Structure 1
Amino acid sequence: MFDLRAIQDLNLVFLNECNQEISASEISRKYNRTFELLPQDDHPESYVAKIDGSTFLKVKKLKKKIKITISNDLIVKVDTEDSESIIDFTNILVNNSIITFEDIKYSYYAETLFTDTYLVNNKSNFLDNFITLKELNETKSEKGELFEDQVSFDESSVFGVLEKQLDEEYNYIFCDDLGTEYADFIACKKNKIGFYHAKSSNTIFSASAFHDVVGQALKNLSYVSDLKNIRLDEEDGAKNFITKKDVWKRKYVNNKVKTNIDRLRKPRNANTDEEVERGIDFLKKVNSNGQTIRVVAIVVDFISKEKMAKEIMKNTNKELKQILWILSSFISACQELNLIPQIICKE
């Protein structure tokens, strides 16, 4: 199987052979998907992926790597914002895709073969990492519609549902979404810190959607292990930098819409500036406690635990191996750092 990650998030300008711009969303709709690699009978160890019956890329297993090439009739180039150089689209395919195999413990990414034995050795326990939240059955978007007088996230959004759930458990909740974010929500209470990454998608059972949210979680695992790596305030050597204290004292702004949503989500209706400082002090104290439990969670509304269990039993879904590899990589990476992985999803 061949899966191209979410290229609309790469902040690129796509050009066709006539040097005309093609929207990233248009490219994304065509290529952000999982493809079955079909063997070529006349070329051993060679496979092709097709769109609408036509071959658009070829994959060949060489002695030390896998070679990916695009067909001659697909000439798409990419111009980065900070450079005039043109990048061949093949480079985007090579660096932003995953190839999986019949043997699910293997995967190929960024010209490297990976082995992940977690799922193979822990099939019976895999679903134990899933936590169901029935409110996610009815969510319609990630954040909901935003407007200036808004003081909380839409209750029908993933952010709204997650925030309500966190409010029942934690003493402090910070919204860290956007900018140099380490999670969408960072929450803490005595002896527990949680990093929560949320994602909404209309595509059910989507490997590409999982790529996005799991990738965000994986790149920030080191910060969960020790919050000293985060510039929380000036005491963390951040006198000349914007700190989390600065960010968390502000209102939430997204797509130029300045809402009235405090980034300090709990406690509510407090003196925000003073309470943020108290919250950061509390966060540091919890972080320094060697007994603190650290949770990393992805929160999604495009999969249910029940459907996952059924698909694993059937083992016929084309995207299943991609999803299993992505999630098992997330789980094993967390466990290697003594973090607790959670996949919060529909029932």
Structure 2
Amino acid sequence: MASLRIGATRIALRGLDLPLIADISVERRSQPLGEDADAVPLSRYLDRENLFTVLFSDLALAYIDGALFRDEALAGGATSLLAHLRVDASLAQTTSEKGAFEVGQVEFAQGCVFRSVVDTIADGDDVLLCDDLGDEWADFIGVSTQSNPTMISFYHAKHGNQSLSASAFHESVGQAIKNLGRMSLPADMLPNKLAGWDDRYRNNGVQTDIARIIRGGTPNEISGKLDAVRAAPDVLQRVFIVTSSLSRAQVEGVLAAVAQGTAPTPHFVQLYWLLMSYFSACVEMGVRGYVVCRP
């Protein structure tokens, strides 16, 4: 149970009575675990950092990240949301995010979201790099040097059971927004990146033979292509959250019902505002944001 305090300029999270988090505190990483004298209870930290969302019975209103937003689009059918949803049929058949791994394996397994990105979703990129694990900017980075304009694309892949809950998207949205500033492919960071990409993929303690440079040429050739694209005055930057947990048809059904006066569930309203905040953050950075989901 949560309690709020509504002030003149902000809504405060006055209390959060959840037994599961009652003994959880946020500490500084520089201190040994349990020895930070300034440790803050999780509920107080969420309030201080505005890490909570307040939904209203009026679908046009939401309080997110310490600010009140008004958007009439949801009640009207939310065509702006649908414009950012793309479909890929293979996502309806996926059973995992990355699949299983074996020594000597040369491709991501069939039926995983990673394989969908490689085979169909990013098939228009003539450069495709697996940046998963470590200091990752995205699960995959794609570059299209032959298109006009040229394009840089970040792909964040997630798998989950079909759902209209926002919980499946929090991690992906956070990762996507955090890395928007790296979509310019900072030149000073590329040497270390290229060294990592010129290696084979390793996961769950298994060293596979999957090339992290999936296509695009040698490291030197890729370096030249990235330099050329980064310097292009009209380069288009795109970020994709690729998920098997969302169905566009299901979203369309809920939005059609809302337009006819049927109130959506609070979980769907939360999902709507989470995705709209992601698209808005992309716009602020000059990036085009999308979600690729099952039909």
Conserved? CA contact 1:133–1:344, under 8 Å: yes
1:178 corresponds to 2:133: yes
Give the unaligned 5+ runs of structure 1.
1-48, 50-56, 234-242
| RMSD value, Cα | 2.6
Query: Cα gap change, 1:209/1:229 in structure 2, threshold over 3 Å: closer, same or farther?
Result: farther
Aligned to 1:77: 24
Q: In structure 2, do the counterparts of structure 1 residues 229 and 220 end up closer, same or farther at CA, with 3 Å as the change threshold? A: farther
Letter in 1 for 2:289: P
| Matched residue type, 1:257 | V
Match of 1:247 in 2: 196
Task: Report the equivalent of 2:67.
Answer: 113
* 1:144/1:153 contact within 8 Å kept: yes
Q: Cα distance, 1:333 vs. partner?
A: 2.4
Indicate the percent of aligned positions where both proteins have the same amino acid.
27
- CA positional deviation for 1:227: 2.0
Cα distance in 2 for partners of 1:117, 1:229 equals: 39
> What TM-score results when the alignment is normalised by the length of structure 2?
0.83
Q: Distance in 1 between matches of 2:173 and 2:18?
A: 33
CA shift, 1:181, in A, is 1.2
**Is contact 1:173–1:264 with CA below 8 Å preserved after alignment?**
yes
Aligned length: 275
Q: Is the 8 A contact 1:177 1:183 kept in 2?
A: yes
Report the counterpart of residue 88 of structure 1 in structure 2: 41
Query: Which residue is equivalent to 1:23?
Result: none
* TM-score, scaled to structure 1: 0.71
Q: Which has the higher contact order (CA 8 A, sep 6+)?
A: 2
Residue 119 of structure 1: how far off its partner (Å) = 4.3
Shift of 1:72: 8.6
Aligned equivalent of 2:168: 209
1:201/1:209 contact within 8 Å kept: yes
Q: Deviations over 1:42-95 (max 9, x none)?
A: xxxxxxx3xxxxxxx333333443333133966322375653224423135434
Question: 1:206: Cα distance to partner?
Answer: 2.2
For residue 341 of structure 1, what is the aligned residue in structure 2?
289
Verify the 8 A CA contact 1:77 1:89 in the aligned structure 2: yes
Task: Go from structure 1 to structure 2 and tell me whether the alpha carbon gap of 1:167 and 1:302 turns closer, same or farther (over 3 Å shift).
Answer: closer
* Equivalent runs, 1:1-347 vs 2, <5 Å: 49=1, 57-68=2-13, 69-71=15-17, 75-78=22-25, 80=27, 82-83=30-31, 84-85=35-36, 86-94=39-47, 95=49, 96-110=51-65, 112-115=66-69, 117=71, 119=73, 123-166=78-121, 168-190=123-145, 191-202=150-161, 204-224=163-183, 226-228=184-186, 231-233=189-191, 243-267=192-216, 275-315=218-258, 316-347=264-295
Q: Output the CA distance in 1 between the equivalents of 2:266 and 2:71.
A: 20
Deviation at 1:171, TM superposition (A): 1.1
Summarize the Cα distance change of 1:131–1:62 in structure 2 as closer, same or farther, 3 Å threshold: same
